[in-house]
Amino acid sequence: MTASNPPRDESPTAHLDSTAHIMNRISSQLASQLSLVSLDGRRRPEPPALVVVAHGSRDPRALSTVRALLDKVRDLRPGLPVHLGHIELNEPLLPDTLAALGGREAVLVPLLLSRGYHIKRDIPEMAAESEVHARVAGALGPHPLLVEALYARLVEAGWRTRMDDPTRRRSAVVLAAAGSRDPESKVDTSRTAQLLADRLGVPVVPAYATTAAPTVPDALRALAARGRTRVAVASYFTAPGRFATECAQAAPWIASAPLGTHPAMAKLLLHRYDQMLSTPNTVTEPVLASA
């Protein structure tokens, strides 16, 4: 088995080694402040905050990856207040992030790839229990920008963009996702797999690290039985972690890195934010806790 090259450390600490990055961050922060002042010197109202809601992970690489991704979002949209909140395991937890925002307006964009319990219940309930006037976006996927990121990660891992017909007939991809008991989650992942198959021109089979079926090893065996022996595992995870590592280790050929800080991910977060601002009647009124 050949695995993909480990991703470069894109944490904020690593970026501090780059003078160019430091200057870019200073310029972005200055532009952010200037964007709040109109030509007549009066302060413009701030746009609704973007709160990116990550799941949380015990793997420290996940937190550094998410923070670096949020830096890319800030670079793309100077002047937009961007915050991070976690559902569990990492700080800041989402309720703490929302409490710090007070009664402001915010758009919560889950850093989650498909529908499931967290999007349908956990995040809306946390938003409703805060004082924030919140709009809660749906899952990131399915979306062509996710396919762009998946394709790029596969190419980085060694997927050939051109292949002859015999090679193509032996090739396939397993789209390795986390898994959920929610049937709509499988619908979303299957749709992403189809979009990726259309892009690659080979079969793409969705498989799961936990909870749902088929598992990644089962999907690989099924493909081998069909003569698909040149199979890549596409990591359908937002950041490194246990599930992503286990799925990559099962790959018989190559395994791509998680989506991480690919530019398409930052663009998609902003796209979901903009979608919510253009959608009427999506504000969740706060439920104030009793004194």
CATH number at residue 242: 3.40.50.1400
Residue 118: pLDDT over 60:
yes
Domain contains 149:
yes
Flag whether 14 is in a domain.
Answer: no
Query: Is the pLDDT score of 4 beyond 60?
Result: no
35-51 residue pLDDT tens = 445 455 556 678 999 99
CB contact at 8 A, 219 and 174: yes
In a domain, 242, yes or no: yes
Catalytic residue of the set 55, 86, 118, 143: 55
Q: Given this model, what pLDDT does residue 287 score?
A: 31
Instruction: Let me know if residue 166 belongs to a domain.
Output: yes
pLDDT at 42: 58
- Let me know if residue 57 belongs to a domain: no
* CB 132, CB 95: distance < 8 Å: no
Contacts of 285 (CB under 8 A, 6+ apart): 133
290 has pLDDT over 50: no
Average pLDDT over residues 151-157: 98
Residue whose C-alpha is closest to residue 94's, from 59, 139, 63, 52: 52
Residue 21 domain-assigned (yes or no): no
Structure tokens at 224: 């081998």
Question: Lowest-pLDDT range, 85-99, 195-209, 271-285?
Answer: 271-285
Answer whether residue 153 is part of any domain: yes
Question: Does residue 18 lie within any of the structural domains?
Answer: no
In the numeric block, the tokens 């992503």 are attached to: 244
Q: Specify the amino acid at residue 282.
A: T
Mean pLDDT over residues 41-68, rounded? 91
pLDDT (tens digit per residue) in 168-183: 999 999 999 999 999 9
pLDDT, tens digit (0-9, with 9 covering 90-100), for 76-100 = 999 999 999 999 999 999 999 999 9
Q: Per the structure, how many domains does the chain have?
A: 1
Length of the chain in residues, anyone? 291
Query: At 185, phi and psi to the nearest 5?
Result: -65, -40
Contact 210, 243 (CB under 8 A): yes
- Per-residue model confidence (pLDDT) at position 204: 98
pLDDT tier, 22 (very low <50, low <70, confident <90, very high otherwise): low
The token duo for 58 is 């015990």
- For 103, residues 6+ apart whose C-beta sits below 8 A from its C-beta are 131, 132, 133, 286
Domain containing residue 168:
144-263
Asked if 118 is an active-site residue, the reply is: no
Percent of the chain with pLDDT over 90: 80
Residue 239 CA: distances (Å) to CA of 17, 140, 141, 211:
22, 14, 15, 19
Tokens encoding 128: 């409703």
* Weakest-pLDDT range from 12-21, 96-105, 113-122: 12-21
Give the pLDDT band of residue 237 (cuts 50, 70, 90). very high
pLDDT above 70 for 260: yes
Report the mean per-residue pLDDT for the chain: 87
Q: Where are the alpha helices (DSSP H) in the chain?
A: 12-15, 19-34, 60-76, 94-101, 117, 123-128, 144-157, 165-170, 183-200, 216-225, 242-249, 263-277
